[in-house]
Chain A
């Protein structure tokens, strides 16, 4: 299973994407500055190394999609073949058999060297840290998977840095919005004028209709936080910073688990009754037994499937968006012609615009569906029937 797709536009680009895995991507910013001559020189050089452009671009995209242990903005290769990285190292925090290890990621030299800490050797291999011997040998099984010991990795990675940055940005933005109410007689100032209508939209068009007038208030902080968090990180993913936070499975799993926990911890008696007794009084108990053997497991499975669809949808959309965008940018370096390169530039530009929309849309969908699940969980019985009646119409 490569990438799971939930949107209509994705499969087309995905199949195209596999065909067009030939490309090299430096980075959006670097790309605008780079010239074709520069790229072609590099290509020749790498051909000498036995690596063709396709493989290199493929690796570059795969590398970009993953989390990184250092914050590198872009890298380039000098005339003498030496790789130069522009960025800064991040702290590595490992929990090994013999305790906590904290060191700078600069020790890895971007995976080129081993890091030696307290007599242990660690190797950065495909963005993951393995414990090795002094030579840095990686043992493989039949499927070419590394079998070395993996210490628990609690490093402050690139994605963690972006989460912190986004968190601080949100704190600053929204606490200043909150303060501006006091200062300006209940009217927001500055950026708040832009964000207040969005807050109102989430309240009036997401929380209120889906959760209900009585109970929507207690869910508002979570819905607001999750919406802006996903939206901001999606947008950051489109910047030349080259981060892919919301397209990371660990992030979406965490977000979906929170929705799952809140849904089930705030679930009313009626909600749980519906899970274990979906037919209610419409059938005598002896009639229910054969049905419930199938129905109750389905209902319970639904509990898991709902947040699972949330996490896969967000992950797949953002992941696929990044792949498509980078592949199209890579195409420019492949074509290197007066027709092909501008064409793929135009395409990449159009896809970027769509991605800006997708960034907002995915944040909206995640928030909307979370609100919907909260609404189901907190529904009282009489409302339940109203809802069924509405559906029936």
Chain B
């Protein structure tokens, strides 16, 4: 301890304190403050940049999700449109078929009616012609038959017989 006290120099202590204080002040002002501020700024800048990148990434993800959603929607819409179109087509076809059926039926009925009436008319015509022919034949036969008495009788009998048959 005695040696330490003997070694202690007040002058050196004075200069050290003074110079160190001065150095501390100057470095504080011209070095440490700007250095620490610059480091701080840089760190904050890096942090901000990272945050911004994260934000951008999120945004990007959102955009991707959005577009995917849009795509899905579009796909669904197309699907539904196709489905609708198919339905419409089917309906049209079905309608057409039905109509055709109805029309066909109607036409067939008409045709049948026509045929029926034609038939009736033809039958009537045939009857008339047959009647006419019969009358003509009868006239001729009668004319000939009437020339002979026996024959006349016979004719009347036959005809009567025939009529019964009819």
Given contacts A186-B45, A196-B39, contact A251 B16 (CB under 8 A): yes
Using Cβ atoms and an 8 Å threshold, which residues of chain B touch A255? Answer: 16, 20
Could you jot down 30 A-B contacts, CB within 8 Å?
A: A66-B7, A67-B12, A93-B11, A153-B10, A155-B11, A157-B11, A157-B12, A157-B15, A159-B12, A160-B19, A170-B23, A171-B23, A171-B26, A174-B30, A175-B30, A178-B31, A182-B34, A186-B42, A186-B45, A196-B39, A221-B28, A224-B32, A225-B23, A229-B20, A248-B7, A251-B12, A253-B8, A254-B16, A254-B17, A255-B20
Q: Which residues of B contact A (CB under 8 A)?
A: 1-4, 7-17, 19-20, 22-24, 26-28, 30-36, 38-39, 41-42, 45
A229–B32 CB distance below 8 A: no
Given contacts A175-B30, A181-B34, A221-B32, contact A250 B8 (CB under 8 A): yes
A389 at the interface (CB under 8 A from B): no
Given contacts A66-B7, A157-B12, A248-B12, contact A163 B20 (CB under 8 A): yes
B10, closest chain A residue (CB): A152
B36–A203 CB distance below 8 A: yes
Using Cβ atoms and an 8 Å threshold, which residues of chain B touch A160? Answer: 12, 15-16, 19
A171, closest chain B residue (CB): B26
Using Cβ atoms and an 8 Å threshold, which residues of chain A touch B1? Answer: 1
B45–A221 CB distance below 8 A: no
> Residue A200 contacts which of B17, B27, B39 (CB distance < 8 angstroms)?
B39
Instruction: List the 5 shortest-distance A-B pairs measured between CB atoms, nearest first.
Output: A174-B31, A181-B38, A178-B34, A250-B12, A250-B13
A2 at the interface (CB under 8 A from B): yes
Knowing that A67-B9, A253-B8 touch, tell me 8 more A-B residue pairs with CB under 8 angstroms: A2-B3, A93-B11, A153-B10, A174-B32, A181-B35, A181-B38, A182-B38, A222-B24
Using Cβ atoms and an 8 Å threshold, which residues of chain B touch A179? Answer: 34
Q: How far is the CA of A224 from the CA of B34 in the complex (A)?
A: 13
A164–B19 CB distance below 8 A: yes
A221–B39 CB distance below 8 A: no
A328 at the interface (CB under 8 A from B): no
Interface size on A, residues (CB 8 A): 47
Interface string of A121-133 (1 = CB under 8 A from B): 0000000000000
Using Cβ atoms and an 8 Å threshold, which residues of chain A touch B15? Answer: 154, 156-157, 160, 163
Q: How far is the CA of A250 from the CA of B11 in the complex (A)?
A: 9
Using Cβ atoms and an 8 Å threshold, which residues of chain A touch B38? Answer: 178, 181-182, 186
A177–B31 CB distance below 8 A: yes
B13–A225 CB distance below 8 A: no
Q: Which residues of A contact B (CB under 8 A)?
A: 1-2, 66-67, 93, 152-157, 159-160, 163-164, 167, 170-171, 174-175, 177-179, 181-182, 186-187, 196, 199-200, 203, 217, 220-222, 224-225, 229, 248-251, 253-255, 257-258
A171–B31 CB distance below 8 A: yes
> Residue A229 contacts which of B4, B17, B23, B41 (CB distance < 8 angstroms)?
B23
A318 to chain B, nearest CB (A): 13
B22–A167 CB distance below 8 A: yes
Using Cβ atoms and an 8 Å threshold, which residues of chain B touch A251? Answer: 12-13, 16
A175–B31 CB distance below 8 A: yes
Q: How far is the CA of A157 from the CA of B11 in the complex (A)?
A: 9
Q: How far is the CA of A187 from the CA of B42 in the complex (A)?
A: 8
Q: How far is the CA of A170 from the CA of B30 in the complex (A)?
A: 11
> Residue B39 contacts which of A157, A175, A182, A199 (CB distance < 8 angstroms)?
A199
Using Cβ atoms and an 8 Å threshold, which residues of chain B touch A224? Answer: 27, 32
Central interface residue in B19, B20, B39, B45, by most chain A CB within 10 Å: B20
Q: How far is the CA of A253 from the CA of B22 in the complex (A)?
A: 17
B14–A154 CB distance below 8 A: yes
Q: How far is the CA of A67 from the CA of B8 in the complex (A)?
A: 10
A3, closest chain B residue (CB): B3
A258, closest chain B residue (CB): B20
A181 to chain B, nearest CB (A): 4
> Residue A167 contacts which of B19, B32, B33, B36 (CB distance < 8 angstroms)?
B19
Q: How far is the CA of A249 from the CA of B4 in the complex (A)?
A: 7
Central interface residue in B10, B15, B39, by most chain A CB within 10 Å: B15
B27–A250 CB distance below 8 A: no
Using Cβ atoms and an 8 Å threshold, which residues of chain A touch B13? Answer: 250-251, 253-254
A250–B10 CB distance below 8 A: yes
Central interface residue in B3, B11, B32, by most chain A CB within 10 Å: B11
Q: How far is the CA of A199 from the CA of B32 in the complex (A)?
A: 9
> Residue A221 contacts which of B4, B14, B24 (CB distance < 8 angstroms)?
B24
A174–B12 CB distance below 8 A: no
B19, closest chain A residue (CB): A163
Q: How far is the CA of A179 from the CA of B13 in the complex (A)?
A: 32
B24–A163 CB distance below 8 A: no
Q: How far is the CA of A137 from the CA of B59 in the complex (A)?
A: 91
> Residue B23 contacts which of A157, A167, A257 (CB distance < 8 angstroms)?
A167
B14 to chain A, nearest CB (A): 6
Q: How far is the CA of A179 from the CA of B31 in the complex (A)?
A: 8
> Residue A171 contacts which of B17, B30, B39 (CB distance < 8 angstroms)?
B30
A170–B11 CB distance below 8 A: no
Q: How far is the CA of A200 from the CA of B19 in the complex (A)?
A: 25
B67 to chain A, nearest CB (A): 37
